[in-house]
Amino acid sequence: MRDDAGQFDYIVIGAGSAGAVVAARLSENANNRVLLLEAGGMDNHPGFRLPLLMGAFIKSGIYNWGYETEPEPHLDDRRIPWPRGRVIGGTSTLNGMVYIRGVPSDYDGWGLKGWSWDEVLPFFRKSEGHEDRGDPFHGTAGPLHVGRARGRNPLTQAFVEAGGQAGYPNNDDFNSARQEGFGFYDFTIRNGRRCGTARAFVRPSLSRKNLKLVTRALTTRIVIENGRATDVEYQSGNKLWRARAGRETILSAGAVNSPQILMLSGIGRAADLRGHGITPVLDLPGVGQNLQDHFDCCLVYESTAPVSLYRQLRVDRLAFALVRGLMFGKGAATVFPYEGGAFIRVQPGAEDPDIQIHFMHGREDTARLHGFGLGSGRPNDKHGFTLRVSPLRPESRGAIRLRSADPREAPVINANYLATEYDVQTTILGLRAMRQVVQQPAFDHCRGREIWPGQQVESDAEFRNWLGGAGGTTFHPVGTCTMGTAPDAVVDETLRVRGVEGLRVADASIMPRIVSGNTNAPSIMIGEKAAALISGEPTA
């Protein structure tokens, strides 16, 4: 028995980085009745506001889908944790808040009408409310608050200075005309507090009578009748509900859940669907394919100078920092430790950077060995610093498949990291380049021993062996509902699912190829673009 949830003009599935934007923008028109469905709950926990606590929440089973890959064949058959946000704002409520767009060739290289760099830049600027920059590359009036890095730890300053000494340019703005160089990241932080899409888009829109948000609503399927998406079924409060979409349904559940929901709805590889007892509605083999993610690994060094994150983690100091951050938006808890970064070229003939570096003034060897990384574990009991090395445009491809027809059961994730020689060699070249940077004079006052992987790892064979046990993810999955004109594309250039009326996908899953950097800002751009396409507004 299904309970009637009513009729709406638009139903948006997923209140994450893109879906929050789509629902907020569509509800700006008072004539649009919009239903926003979110499988998680509200972001009411005060800890969400503090950037330093990102690691605690990315591991939490309350706000996290808690996914993991299948045993990865090129990573010693390890299962890699894949945290994804199950809360309004999605992963933007859990992530590292780094604001990076990629490079123009990312978008120009997609080769799709309406998605060139010149055509997507206005949508980046539309969302952005940058507190420090006012040039043609940035917006200042958007709801998404962006600002420069708040901290200037001496180790991070040494990293940026060492980059210049090693021959790389300094870069004050990775989102300007040039991405290459060493510098400090911009963050989606406002007054010392996280500003994800929950705070920037969802909450300010809830006062609108034409927007209905239903949390803890697990979408079970999209109903397709006579080739058109007509209804959405979801579980909420121990009941099965059915809502009707008069105009369109927009699927914004992310690179894992969007293909899962399509397959549960009968859209995917027909033979696979029948194997799970699902009647195929549309044989679309590309659903779940083309999975891409940014692989990464860490160089970790001891610091002979007692100025790292470790000094802030003493219980009394940490407690004081948390209270100060919550009450006044100031202090160590309002800074995300990975403030320094770099984009460099390591492959011969590379026109754009092919390696990204995240630098932390703290040790992550213990954290990475026991779980996720990115500040998510307790750094080792000594001072140190970490350089995360990540190839920007991996060639390896994986896939998302159904595990069963039960929407509550996690799908099968095969990331297939380091499946190509290019990915392996680019990673090793990046590691060697960073070792050279750490040997520059700027680090002389603080450089201790390399503790991970250690100087005994030197040859390509030794690096390959180490990567199998040490590598992981930067949490940037994309591509599983690919946009394009090829026969295996899932959505067209207007984000409509090919072969189905009234259904679009709008999130990172539509990227044909992963962008050169963190994927949150591009996902928000996709939400802005989708809303304009749906509303019939100018998109170029």
β pairing state of 239-251 and 503-505: parallel
Shared domain for 380 and 465, answered yes or no, is yes
Cβ contact 501:228 at 8 Å: yes
Total domains in the chain come to: 2
Shared domain for 245 and 128, answered yes or no, is yes
Shared domain for 231 and 114, answered yes or no, is yes
Shared domain for 366 and 234, answered yes or no, is no
Cβ contact 143:293 at 8 Å: no
pLDDT at 92: 86
Tell whether 491 is covered by a domain. yes
- Alpha carbon distance 108, 117 (integer Å): 6
Tell whether 173 is covered by a domain. yes
Shared domain for 536 and 493, answered yes or no, is yes
Each residue of 479-513: b (16+ CB within 10 Å) or e?
A: bbbbbbeeeebbbbbebbbbebebbbbbbbbbbbb
Residue 16 phi, psi (nearest 5): -90, -150
Tell whether 95 is covered by a domain. yes
pLDDT at 71: 97
Count Cβ atoms within 10 A of the Cβ of residue 208 and give its class: 0-12 exposed, 13-18 middle, 19 or more buried. middle
Q: What is the CATH number of the domain that holds 29?
A: 3.50.50.60
Tell whether 68 is covered by a domain. no
Cβ contact 295:474 at 8 Å: yes
Cβ contact 256:409 at 8 Å: no
Tell whether 75 is covered by a domain. no
pLDDT at 327: 65
Shared domain for 247 and 317, answered yes or no, is no
Shared domain for 465 and 348, answered yes or no, is yes
E strand spans, 275-325: 282-283, 295-303
pLDDT at 150: 82
Shared domain for 331 and 379, answered yes or no, is yes
Shared domain for 6 and 110, answered yes or no, is yes
- Alpha carbon distance 22, 60 (integer Å): 27
- Alpha carbon distance 338, 475 (integer Å): 15
My answer on whether omega of the bond before 136 falls inside 30° of 0, hence cis, is no
Beta bridge partners of 233: 221, 242
Tell whether 156 is covered by a domain. yes
Query: What's the half-sphere exposure (Cβ side, CA atoms, 13 Å) at 443?
Result: 26
Cβ contact 334:420 at 8 Å: no
Sequence length of the chain is 540
- pLDDT in 10s for each residue of the chain, 540 residues: 577 779 999 999 999 999 999 999 999 999 999 999 999 998 887 777 776 666 666 666 678 898 999 999 999 999 999 999 889 898 888 888 899 999 999 999 999 999 999 999 999 999 999 998 989 999 999 999 999 988 788 899 999 999 999 999 999 999 999 999 999 999 998 888 888 999 999 999 999 999 999 999 999 999 999 999 999 999 998 899 999 999 999 999 999 999 999 999 999 999 999 999 999 999 999 999 999 999 999 999 998 887 766 666 665 566 656 666 566 566 666 678 889 999 999 999 999 999 999 999 888 764 444 333 444 344 445 888 999 999 999 999 999 999 999 999 999 999 999 999 999 999 999 999 999 999 999 999 999 999 989 999 999 999 999 999 999 999 999 999 999 999 899 999 999 999 999 999 999 999 999 999 999 999 999 999 999 999 987 665
Residue span of the structural domain in which 346 resides: 150-184+295-391+418-470
Count Cβ atoms within 10 A of the Cβ of residue 439 and give its class: 0-12 exposed, 13-18 middle, 19 or more buried. middle
- Alpha carbon distance 463, 485 (integer Å): 39
Shared domain for 252 and 320, answered yes or no, is no
> Quick one: CA dihedral 324, 326, 328, 329, positive or negative?
positive
Shared domain for 343 and 485, answered yes or no, is no
- pTM of the entire predicted model: 0.93
Cβ contact 418:396 at 8 Å: yes
Cβ contact 514:293 at 8 Å: yes
Each residue of 309-342: b (16+ CB within 10 Å) or e?
A: bbebbeeeeeeebbebbbeebebbbbbbbbbbbb
Residue type at position 301: Y
Shared domain for 386 and 403, answered yes or no, is no
Tell whether 445 is covered by a domain. yes
DSSP code string of 519-531: SHHHHHHHHHHHH
Query: What's the half-sphere exposure (Cβ side, CA atoms, 13 Å) at 445?
Result: 12
Tell whether 385 is covered by a domain. yes
Q: Annotated catalytic, 476?
A: yes
Q: What is the CATH number of the domain that holds 349?
A: 3.30.410.40
